Structure 1
């Protein structure tokens, strides 16, 4: 594993609300969970730091409302960070805090450096476009104008995620949930991004379909050596996929370490609860 992170996040915060004297000073913060009872501010992510290394899968686990999906949305620029820094190892944006880049520079990152697979496929796919059309849309956003190239790339990707080419002109709205997720993965991979975000991608799928999607993610990571951040409330998913894991609770990281280490010797009471629920 390279010693230089491909993505480095430091002191990331995302707050919903104005903050007040009761909650805005960390040393004097009186919160109920991640909520200020005085002014109503929600500290969705509070002083989160992480490193993602080339070729690794970083798992982020936590219950609903722990801040893990908010972190993903801000990293992918679906939402704005309140404060903090994030740096990507790429010559075009090296040494630049990506949270403070122009919208044009953020588009470059989304189109060339990032892939995103959402929990709800409707957020990642245009349901009234064909499957191969969804992949072409991402390629066009990155500047590709060669129709033959795009069709060849689209076919290769759909085969890779086990979508029959006989259905490539079909719209994803006709597909099962598992097939929609696989089309989303193909679209996210279309520009060979070095970083892939996966947000609760197996939630709501049948167990056998979940297993197929998880196998596909592992296969892609093994063959393409893509760095991934996988968010889940399910420690069994994280156990199967992640090299290292962050545990989040009420917007904060409460434990971090090698996944095996966390499973075998959890330190925080919340992590212990998660691990014991697996046994």
Structure 2
């Protein structure tokens, strides 16, 4: 007949064996096992084993050892978290950030990159419309980020661009004889009156030679830079655009000044050179 104390101990050992089925059992020696009514038990199941909660108990040739599980370090009876990010045992991509966790770590791609942390690729913010560039700016993608550059004719930091007034800043390319007119994002060069060209290059107009002057027929046209002058001819008076003959009399027609006027039938008329 089995002793009641012995029976109680056997039942306790059976329960322990069932609850810790994950315990590593070494079958290298029969001394490592206690066989009780068909159940195989190991020393790790006995109450006086003091492995740390983050350690695994193993039995080898009758010897019991405690080893810290992966992600922890210590002697088995005391285990502390291993900081893989600090000791460099992580496998995070160089474009990601390593974050330590209890017993493990996590890799997160940096801003501007996408992936699982061990593999990170650049995000093209410009093509995906993720940039914050001004409507009058150009978005330029680069590794992990992007740049905003104001378009020609605008000034600013790229996220905010204002029209650049080239005519007051003096950055226009207009000719000295042209007027600069500012427009949104640009400017226009227009040659001044008396000059012709595209605004960037302007040349003087020869009004006297091309017949665009308004001088009187009895006036002489003189070209000037950007304009012209009209001077009544000798014997005529006026402002050049209107010239009238002088009514001068002389006893000697050869010494008369101005056109010689004769009285004929009650009218004055220019004397001709015919005699």
TM interval, shorter chain, is under 0.3
Normalising by the residue count of structure 1, what TM-score does the alignment of the two structures yield? 0.15
Q: Which has the higher strand share?
A: 2
**More helix as a share of residues:** 1
Structure of higher RCO (CA pairs closer than 8 Å, 6+ residues apart): 1
